[in-house]
């Protein structure tokens, strides 16, 4: 009888711990993502997209372009974009199309962009994709601080452009490696179950 009870207690403890880890409210090492929606000046939706960033990583934008490690000064960014994709009226824009360094300002809920020019770093509330100067094909997204959105303009070959407003909506956080971290209270409960099982077993002896 004791042997049967011991097996039941051991199995219950293992199930409790495993279930607590697998079925808990997960805490992820977060990559934060936003959905994007674009509207023309008539209020019609004309584009969709998304972007992500990892707040747990940091990069440095050097003041001098050849200064790879910011030895002579630079700007530290913790929320640089890790992904960006948009489709506006059939035209695709990707992160590799970006001009300068781009990031999301969490405190101000707005876009930020930066260019290193000589010994200075020029920062603006703007994301720019494409070549605005020579090719005339670009997507310009200006952010309004505290609005999670702003105004945009897409130019194709200098003479074909559309413009309007855009909004960013926070979506669920995800884990790049799929690693799940159980919440502390869940582990505490599982540990209590194991401890109780061990205590009960000692009383049976």
3-state per-residue secondary structure call for 162-191: EEEEEEEEECCCECCCCCEECCHHHHHHHH
Does the structure show a pLDDT above 80 at 136?
yes
Instruction: Write the CA distances from 10 to 19, 29, 176, 186, 193, integer angstroms.
Output: 14, 32, 34, 18, 10
pLDDT band, very low/low/confident/very high, at 188 (cuts 50, 70, 90) = very low
Query: Facing residues of 178 across strands?
Result: none
CB 60 within 8 A of CB 74: yes
User: For residue 114, how many other CB atoms are within 10 A of its CB?
Assistant: 19
Closest-CA residue to 14 (of 170, 191, 151, 154):
191
User: For residue 97, how many other CB atoms are within 10 A of its CB?
Assistant: 17
Closest-CA residue to 55 (of 99, 106, 94, 111):
106
Mean pLDDT for all residues in the chain? 77
pLDDT band, very low/low/confident/very high, at 149 (cuts 50, 70, 90) = very high
Q: What is the pLDDT of residue 61?
A: 83
pLDDT band, very low/low/confident/very high, at 173 (cuts 50, 70, 90) = low
Cβ neighbourhood burial of 158 (10 Å; 0-12, 13-18, 19+): exposed
Cβ neighbourhood burial of 132 (10 Å; 0-12, 13-18, 19+): middle
Q: How far apart are CA 110 and CA 121, in angstroms?
A: 18
Question: pTM for the complete prediction?
Answer: 0.69
Radius of gyration of the chain (CA): 26
3-class state of residue 101 by DSSP: strand
CB 148 within 8 A of CB 169: yes
Does the structure show a pLDDT above 60 at 29?
no
**Average of pLDDT values for 66-83?**
87
Does the structure show a pLDDT above 70 at 142?
yes
């Amino acid at each position: 009888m004791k042997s049967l009870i011991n097996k039941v207690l051991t199995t219950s403890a293992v199930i409790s711990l495993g279930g607590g880890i697998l079925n808990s409210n997960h805490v992820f090492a977060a990559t934060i993502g936003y959905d994007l929606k674009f509207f023309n000046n008539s209020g019609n939706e004309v584009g969709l997209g998304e972007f992500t960033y990892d707040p747990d990583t940091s990069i440095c934008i050097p003041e001098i372009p050849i200064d790879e490690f910011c030895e002579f000064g630079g700007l530290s960014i913790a929320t640089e974009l890790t992904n960006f994709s948009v489709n506006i009226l059939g035209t695709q824009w990707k992160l590799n199309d970006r001009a300068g360094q781009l990031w999301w300002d969490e405190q101000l809920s707005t876009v930020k962009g930066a260019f290193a020019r000589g010994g200075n770093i020029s920062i603006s509330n703007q994301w720019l994709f494409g070549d605005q100067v020579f090719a005339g094909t670009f997507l310009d997204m200006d952010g309004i601080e505290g609005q999670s959105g702003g105004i945009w303009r897409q130019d194709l070959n200098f003479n074909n452009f559309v413009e309007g407003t855009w909004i960013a909506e926070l979506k669920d956080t995800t884990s790049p490696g799929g690693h799940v971290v159980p919440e502390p209270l869940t582990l505490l409960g599982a540990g209590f179950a194991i401890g109780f099982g061990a205590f009960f077993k000692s009383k049976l002896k």
